[in-house]
């Protein structure tokens, strides 16, 4: 008589179940959901007020409101900051024993990482939608690209955040310490955010900072999102998508390799 051997569920089923598990864990922590939504709204409010005076400078595009200039950039920045949560969440799962239990199940290691990535992408999408609604209702965000252009900018921001989340997942899989993960993440994010075209036109920055901003990959993502939302000639979108894809592939490769290491290492 042939012996029946259970090899586990299919790969898509594993990803779906584990993604649902991560989302349910997030919803069971209402305070975390609230503050993850509140943070980008506070950022949008503060930056829209602090930097709004630059609209009167010669370097700012004439006839453009600052909220229309700012919001597409905030979408990309929020997606980038949310990607850090993917790495921190993985470290927490490693420390609380969840991943040790997963290793005893007939599931592929990459499904755990992909589920973490997808669940955080869902959370980020919710954040970005609320931010756009907040910008429209409170600050009068009215981009020339209309709803379609704004949704395209949102989609680009999600792709950028999805790719960067693989980087932070890879870092988490190797460092495995929440404090170190947060330090590395913030050290990487703040230069990317402020040494870019996100808040001020590049030609309004000091000379040395202009040189950095021009090679900052976030500048190209922000400029592409801004072009989509404002119905400007679309440049850099393909480059941003290709770069994001390359980053995701490299990050996923190292994430899986790091995740396969024994948890005691």
| 57 contact partners, CB below 8 Å, separation of at least 6 | 204
8-state DSSP, 233:
-
Task: Identify the pLDDT of residue 5.
Answer: 54
**CB neighbour list of residue 136: distance below 8 Å, 6 or more residues apart:** 142
Q: What is the pLDDT of residues 155-182, one digit of tens each?
A: 999 999 999 999 998 988 888 887 788 8
Sorted by sequence, the CB contacts under 8 Å of residue 176 that are 6+ apart come out as 91, 94, 95, 263
Tokens representing 169? Answer: 């997942």
Task: With a cut of 70, list the residues of the chain below it in pLDDT.
Answer: 1-8, 262-265
pLDDT of residue 177: 80
Q: How far apart are CA 232 and CA 247, in angstroms?
A: 26
| Pick from 253, 252, 230, 225: nearest CA to 241 | 225
pTM for this prediction = 0.87
Residue 16: name the closest of 93, 122, 95 by CA. Answer: 122
pLDDT of residue 226: 92
Confidence (pLDDT) at 263: 60
């Amino acid at each position: 008589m042939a012996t029946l051997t259970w090899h586990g569920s299919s790969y898509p089923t594993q990803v779906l179940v584990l993604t649902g598990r991560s989302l349910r864990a997030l919803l069971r922590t209402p305070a975390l959901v609230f503050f993850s939504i509140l943070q980008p709204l506070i950022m949008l409010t503060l930056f829209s007020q602090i930097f709004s005076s630059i609209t009167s400078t010669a370097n700012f595009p004439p006839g453009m409101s600052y909220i229309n200039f700012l919001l597409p950039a905030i979408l990309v920045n929020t997606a980038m900051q949310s990607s850090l949560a993917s790495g921190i969440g993985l470290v927490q799962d490693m420390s609380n024993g969840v991943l040790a239990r997963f290793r005893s199940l007939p599931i592929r290691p990459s499904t755990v990482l992909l589920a973490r990535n997808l669940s955080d992408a869902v959370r980020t999408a919710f954040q970005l939608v609320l931010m756009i609604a907040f910008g429209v209702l409170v600050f009068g965000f009215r981009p020339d690209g209309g709803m379609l252009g704004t949704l395209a900018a949102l989609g680009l921001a999600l792709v950028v955040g999805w790719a960067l989340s693989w980087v932070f997942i890879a870092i988490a899989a190797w460092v495995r310490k929440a404090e170190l993960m947060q330090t590395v993440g913030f050290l990487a994010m703040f230069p990317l955010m402020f040494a870019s075209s996100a808040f001020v036109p590049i030609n309004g920055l000091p000379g040395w900072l202009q040189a950095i901003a021009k090679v900052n990959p976030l500048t190209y993502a922000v400029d592409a999102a801004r072009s989509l939302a404002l119905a400007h000639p679309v440049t850099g979108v393909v480059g941003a998508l290709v770069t994001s894809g390359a980053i995701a592939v490299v990050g996923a490769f190292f994430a899986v390799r790091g995740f396969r290491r024994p948890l005691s290492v």
